[in-house]
Structure 1
Amino acid sequence: MSSQEQDGGQTDRQKYEFRKVIEELEDYRGSGTQLVSIYVPEDTLISDVVAHVTQEHSEASNIKSKETRTNVQDALKSIKDRLRYYDNEPPENGMVLFSGAIDTGGGRSDMITRVLESPPDPIQSFRYHCDSEFLTEPLEGMLADKGLFGLIVLDRREANVGWLKGKRVEPVKSASSLVPGKQRKGGQSAQRFARLRLEAIDNFYQEVAGMANDLFVPERHDLDGILVGGPSPTKDEFLDGDYLHHELQDMVLGKFDVAYTDESGLHDLVDAAEDVLAEHEILQDKQVMEEFFSELHDGKKATYGFDQTRQNLNMGSVEQLLISEDLRKDVATYDCPNGHTEYELLDRNAETPEITCETCGEEVDLEKREDAIEHLMELAGQRGTETVFVSTDFEKGEQLLTAFGGIAGILRYSTGV
């Protein structure tokens, strides 16, 4: 399942722009606890948010520091002014508002206000936060690689089944067993008691599998894997007994020792499977980089570097545009009086250089300077090219950044460019 599908239509461009705003907010600092962050869920009325902001504005008059008091009240007023542009219902998935006086050096500060609408995941609860930094951690979690995993925890007494959606655990179904304890009641033969107990265990495993099948089978084409947890030998018996639907059985990524099998056990299962999930998060990146290196060494459908990749994008020959998640570059576009166009890839904080046209040698004038990733993604969008952001958390992903400039592509056909 592609990242675009998992994110419910959230485009690569939207995700990247969202990431840029978060990185910008992370760099801001206030001289005191004067940077305000407000998280608004979709089901919270704007009028209630305005009332809360009004109350916080009134209570801020008790802040001892005059500078901090003024800055907090100014931030709250700015947020209140922004809220007037909305109807009484927030956008889909909610919204987050940031406002405050940020340090700009030399003892000076600037008031900034940012509003992030419709984040990739729903805002879970209303939060008001005032500190020397903006609260961005909940948003950072939304940018983590997404995934859909089925969760099963069970012992011979109870079981719970649910989802892991991105970083969010959602319990869905639970069951309790009628399996008798090992101590048999008086009057029963040992063999008969053992047989009844095994039947009860088998019936319970079938019930758990039925819950899992009902939940997971309809979503099996979007499912990234299944995790099973519980004590031994319960989880082993369950999996070895082939109780699950055969397609689900093939999707089990691992079984893990988990002490609890109530809803908290689902969270324990995710923690126990941390290494497996981390490996799975970059699996797609690894696969696409393996394909790139294969084409680079043995085929003719690979391109890399800004200039070559851009040319191939313009030709419509790029199937997948590969961009390192850690790429931070700008591109300067120059106009030549003789009708030529020049492009220069620059470090994010570097000054824009003066250059001459490579075609005719004339001096060229800067037309615009923009984010290199946005520049390439716009071309990709116009040509129907998929954009893949590649993590640097594995060797070939790191090589994309260090050896290939963070920009590459897998072609639809060989172009010779």
Structure 2
Amino acid sequence: MSESDAEQTDKQKYEFRKVIEELKDYRGSGTQLVTIYVPEERMISDVVAHVTQEHSEASNIKSKDTRTNVQDALKSIKDRLKYYGNNPPENGMVLFSGAIDAGGGQTDMITRVLESPPQPVESFRYHCDSEFLTEPLEEMLADKGLFGLVVLDRREANVGWLRGKRVDPVKSASSLVPGKQRKGGQSAQRFARLRLEAIDNFYQEVAGMANELFVPERHDMDGILVGGPSPTKDEFLDGDYLHHELQDMVLGKFDVAYTDESGLHDLVDAASEVLAEHEMLEDKQVMEEFFEELHDGNQATYGFEQTRENLVMGAVDRLLISEDLRQDVVTYECSQGHDERELVDRNATTPTHTCSRCGEEVEEGEREDAIDHLMEIANQRGTETMFVSTDFEKGEQLLNAFGGVAGLLRYSTGI
């Protein structure tokens, strides 16, 4: 994945995360909030037919208010589906619609459509409840990484993928390796030699499956996990059967009792600590670099105002934003033409602002999401944006000690 593609994915995930947080706060007075997950391969005409059927069945709902709200939500979804021809977007789509509690006994009808989520929608799902169903989308946003999986013993092997949290078995093989018991009239030496040849052939077959699956994706992969009993997995790796580029990508070997498809899941469980560490690796590396520059160099910036100023100058090489930053930027402009910006909590009201340069009181002006604001400037200046998790100490410090915004500079600006 190119740098620009990665940034676009991060931006998309952030936009999805904002919508999900909004949806999670909504409640219906009854089971009247409709969620529909549509996989890419599902024809829109089939979805429309399903919605039409649900609309008809909703006429049996006893509560008049709930019946009306559910049918209105389904009609809104049906109207939205008209814009998509007969094919959903890549990776599918998710539709949300319903009458939400607006307080004071009032309701508001909302409809949201999220297209092309980060991971494919796996199956069609219709859900009607007092809350929107967001958990499958949240899991997609949490999914990180593409790892190759290999489990083997001397009887069988399975090869597949770990895509985020989803295990996809792809290929399997059974061996012709004879047991250790000597058979027939063969001499012990001949039997041992034939057995070793069969083991070698099987390891080559397993490596062939892995190479065919992993080599084309090696530039997008984050690593390879190998599991099985000892000494099988050790012999396989020590024998250099894998393609040399894949050999360098092996993150570890793990004891796994089963080598069928269930063994792939066992392998992921056994490697959980390694996977968690690897998921944070890029974030940890960039934060280490930031702290080194902060303490011993002069090419680090932090805080909204300072980082934004450097960003506008084009001096920021990498913009670091906390994944948990949830603030807006408010712009104030006085009659003298001075403009100033302030970071405020999302949905918070702001008092009258006094211009720091002329002392004039000014009202709140334009207000927008702080991350959107910074990323727009970064895109214009050719600056890479990196979202940093708070699941480790220095990532947490970025949010709590540095306001959730920092940067590594191309050159020192003295700001």
TM (normalized to structure 2)? 0.95
Check if 1:136 corresponds to 2:134.
yes
TM (normalized to structure 1)? 0.95
Which residue of 109, 112, 116 corresponds with 1:111?
109
Between 295-304 and 162-171, report the one with greater CA deviation: 162-171
- Taking the aligned partners of 1:246 and 1:119, their CA distance within structure 2 comes to 34
Check if 1:24 corresponds to 2:38.
no
Which residue of 334, 337, 350 corresponds with 1:336?
334
Match of 2:72 in 1: 74
Match of 1:277 in 2: 275
DSSP 3-state at the match of 1:277: helix
DSSP 3-state at the match of 1:303: strand
Match of 1:292 in 2: 290
- Flag structure 1 segments of 5+ consecutive residues without an equivalent: none
Letter aligned with residue 135 of structure 2: E
- Taking the aligned partners of 1:3 and 1:49, their CA distance within structure 2 comes to 36
Match of 2:256 in 1: 258
How far the C-alpha of 1:279 sits from its partner, in A, is 1.2
Instruction: Summarize deviations over 1:246-292 as a string: whole Å, max 9, x none.
Output: 33222111112222222232222222212211111111100000000
Given that 1:331 and 1:345 are in contact with CA atoms closer than 8 Å, whether structure 2 keeps it comes out as yes
Query: Aligned ranges for residues 8-407 of structure 1 at < 5 Å?
Result: 10-407=8-405
Letter aligned with residue 69 of structure 2: N
How far the C-alpha of 1:145 sits from its partner, in A, is 4.8
Identical columns (%): 84
DSSP 3-state at the match of 1:367: coil
- Taking the aligned partners of 1:256 and 1:11, their CA distance within structure 2 comes to 32
- Taking the aligned partners of 2:220 and 2:81, their CA distance within structure 1 comes to 37
How far the C-alpha of 1:89 sits from its partner, in A, is 1.6
Letter aligned with residue 161 of structure 1: V
- Flag structure 2 segments of 5+ consecutive residues without an equivalent: none
How far the C-alpha of 1:111 sits from its partner, in A, is 1.5
- Taking the aligned partners of 2:283 and 2:411, their CA distance within structure 1 comes to 21
Given that 1:3 and 1:146 are in contact with CA atoms closer than 8 Å, whether structure 2 keeps it comes out as no
- Taking the aligned partners of 2:63 and 2:272, their CA distance within structure 1 comes to 45
Letter aligned with residue 280 of structure 1: H
- Taking the aligned partners of 2:300 and 2:2, their CA distance within structure 1 comes to 21
- Taking the aligned partners of 2:363 and 2:229, their CA distance within structure 1 comes to 70
Given that 2:9 and 2:118 are in contact with CA atoms closer than 8 Å, whether structure 1 keeps it comes out as no
Instruction: Indicate how the Cα distance of structure 1 residues 365 and 267 shifts in structure 2: closer, same or farther if over 3 A, else same.
Output: same
Given that 2:94 and 2:115 are in contact with CA atoms closer than 8 Å, whether structure 1 keeps it comes out as yes
Match of 1:412 in 2: 410
- Taking the aligned partners of 1:337 and 1:108, their CA distance within structure 2 comes to 40
Given that 1:357 and 1:364 are in contact with CA atoms closer than 8 Å, whether structure 2 keeps it comes out as yes
- Taking the aligned partners of 2:43 and 2:267, their CA distance within structure 1 comes to 36
How far the C-alpha of 1:197 sits from its partner, in A, is 1.1
Letter aligned with residue 19 of structure 2: V
- Taking the aligned partners of 1:212 and 1:45, their CA distance within structure 2 comes to 34
- Taking the aligned partners of 2:337 and 2:143, their CA distance within structure 1 comes to 43
Letter aligned with residue 153 of structure 1: V
Letter aligned with residue 356 of structure 1: T
- Taking the aligned partners of 2:217 and 2:95, their CA distance within structure 1 comes to 35
- Taking the aligned partners of 2:116 and 2:285, their CA distance within structure 1 comes to 31
Given that 2:161 and 2:168 are in contact with CA atoms closer than 8 Å, whether structure 1 keeps it comes out as yes
Letter aligned with residue 345 of structure 1: L
- Taking the aligned partners of 1:326 and 1:33, their CA distance within structure 2 comes to 31
DSSP 3-state at the match of 2:354: coil
How far the C-alpha of 1:2 sits from its partner, in A, is 6.7
Given that 1:392 and 1:398 are in contact with CA atoms closer than 8 Å, whether structure 2 keeps it comes out as yes
Letter aligned with residue 209 of structure 1: A
- Taking the aligned partners of 1:229 and 1:289, their CA distance within structure 2 comes to 32
Given that 1:328 and 1:348 are in contact with CA atoms closer than 8 Å, whether structure 2 keeps it comes out as yes
Between 193-202 and 48-57, report the one with greater CA deviation: 193-202
DSSP 3-state at the match of 2:189: helix
- Taking the aligned partners of 1:102 and 1:390, their CA distance within structure 2 comes to 33
Instruction: Summarize deviations over 1:27-71 as a string: whole Å, max 9, x none.
Output: 111222211100111222211111100101111122233332222
Instruction: Summarize deviations over 1:87-110 as a string: whole Å, max 9, x none.
Output: 122222211110111122333322
- Taking the aligned partners of 1:377 and 1:335, their CA distance within structure 2 comes to 22
In the TM superposition, structure 1's runs of 4+ consecutive aligned residues that sit over 6 Å from their partners are none
- Taking the aligned partners of 1:99 and 1:107, their CA distance within structure 2 comes to 19
In the alignment of these two chains, the number of paired residues is: 415
DSSP 3-state at the match of 1:398: helix
- Taking the aligned partners of 1:344 and 1:235, their CA distance within structure 2 comes to 57
DSSP 3-state at the match of 2:148: strand
Instruction: Summarize deviations over 1:10-35 as a string: whole Å, max 9, x none.
Output: 44332211110011111111222211
Instruction: Indicate how the Cα distance of structure 1 residues 278 and 3 shifts in structure 2: closer, same or farther if over 3 A, else same.
Output: farther
Between 127-136 and 62-71, report the one with greater CA deviation: 62-71
- Taking the aligned partners of 1:214 and 1:82, their CA distance within structure 2 comes to 42
Given that 1:153 and 1:265 are in contact with CA atoms closer than 8 Å, whether structure 2 keeps it comes out as yes
- Taking the aligned partners of 1:211 and 1:414, their CA distance within structure 2 comes to 51
Instruction: Indicate how the Cα distance of structure 1 residues 155 and 3 shifts in structure 2: closer, same or farther if over 3 A, else same.
Output: farther
